[in-house]
Amino acid sequence: MDSRSPSVACIGFIGRHNNPLHISLFPASGTGYESERNKLEYSFMLNSCLDIFEARMPTKGLTQDFGLLHALDERIAMYGWVTNTGVKIVVVVDMEGVPAEGARVTAGLGLRNSDLTPAFHALQTTYIRLLRNPFYVPDHHNPKLSKGTGSLQITSPRFIRDVERIGKTWYPGIGTM
């Protein structure tokens, strides 16, 4: 049995009013493991994280690293981060996502919270870049203020590209992203 190493399964951005802003899925790779991730299943998983955020919401309003939110089973674990504006970033890690090779060969002892920190920093930077675009109006993605119907998710191609790049290139022990 090849040794496997953790990889990102899903990245989710959830807005201040618990509205989904963006969900990116990353399929597992390697023989016998390939399968598309089920979007609905991962939506439910992200939903379940919201309760954990609610319970531990900090009163001070600084960007908080929640670390491991919840370990679903042997393979899936969810890590979370909330910014001071209430935007929540969730990274779902698949412990057996990719074959362990090259830079990904790790001691295999499991994941530390600090392993996810470069990914969260990079995701926060991507989100800030999106906010700096004058044509992105955060209120349009807010279900309480927006008058539109249909999906209120982020559509900026550069943002989606950056999130996918972060998800694909992350491995435990990576330095800056």
66 or 159: CB nearest other proteins = 159
Shortest Å distance, C-beta 108 to other proteins: 40
For the chain, the residue count is 177
Residue 155 CB, shortest distance to other proteins, in Å, is 6
Q: Rounded to whole angstroms, how far apart are CA atoms 133 and 126?
A: 11
Q: What letter represents residue 12's amino acid?
A: G
Closer residue to other proteins in complex, CB, 53/159: 159
Q: Measure CA 139 to chain center.
A: 22
Q: How far is the CB of 163 from other proteins (least distance, A)?
A: 14
Cα separation, 147 vs 145, in Å, equals 6
Q: In the complex, which residues of this chain contact other proteins (CB under 8 A)? A: 129, 132-137, 155-158
Which residue, 9 or 163, has its beta carbon nearer to other proteins?
A: 163
Q: Are the beta carbons of 83 and 139 closer than 8 angstroms?
A: no
